[in-house]
Amino acid sequence: MESSTVKVRIPAGVHTGSKLRSSGKGEAGQQGGQSGDLYIVIHVKEHELFERHEDDLFCEIPIKFTLAALGGSIDVPTLGGKGNLKIPSGTQSGTTFRLRGQGMPHLRGSSKGDLLIRVHAEVPTKLSKSQKKKLEDYADACGDPANPVSESFVKKAKKFFK
């Protein structure tokens, strides 16, 4: 059996398991007959940043807890380069934001999926004395520095244990 190289155009938006056919590029027919078709099964390699869900892309991004509390904007990776994501003040860790049209192209159409970004607030593991003092002052200003759990959660938990 002789090996050869065949160039095949892979359309944007294919999924793992998609099958492509290249007419006349398969094995030669018997007794000098016409060559058959070559069928190619696609296996899409995983990306180190993005996880694919149909045409949507998903990624997780760490942010500073001060950005989550105060708000601002960050640059985020997209398939086309950088995008900008506005983080509203008071954003909770685990919040998911949607960037419409920044996902994978639809295989049979002109639309694109969305990019879903889940942010996780990073809590510093080491604080200087000055930083620790400022956070303690903030906790004191909040009224109940010893109990960071929200009051509504405590009420729900008490009902559960009754």
Please determine, for residue 112, whether its predicted confidence score (pLDDT) is greater than 60. yes
Task: Quick: pLDDT tens for 79-111.
Answer: 888 889 999 998 999 999 999 999 888 877 778
Domains of the chain (ranges; CATH) run 1-45 (no CATH), 46-125 (2.60.260.20)
Residue 133: C-alpha distances to residues 90, 136, 140 (Å): 22, 5, 10
SS3 of 32-76: the string is: HCCCCCEEEECCCCCCCCCEEECCEEEEEEEEEHHHHHHCEEEEE
**Model's pTM, two decimal places?**
0.69
Task: Quick: pLDDT tens for 52-61.
Answer: 888 899 999 9
| Contacts of range 95-100, beta carbons closer than 8 Å, 24 or more positions apart | 95/119
The predicted model gives 40-60 an average pLDDT of 88
Angle (CA) 110 54 46, round 5° = 110
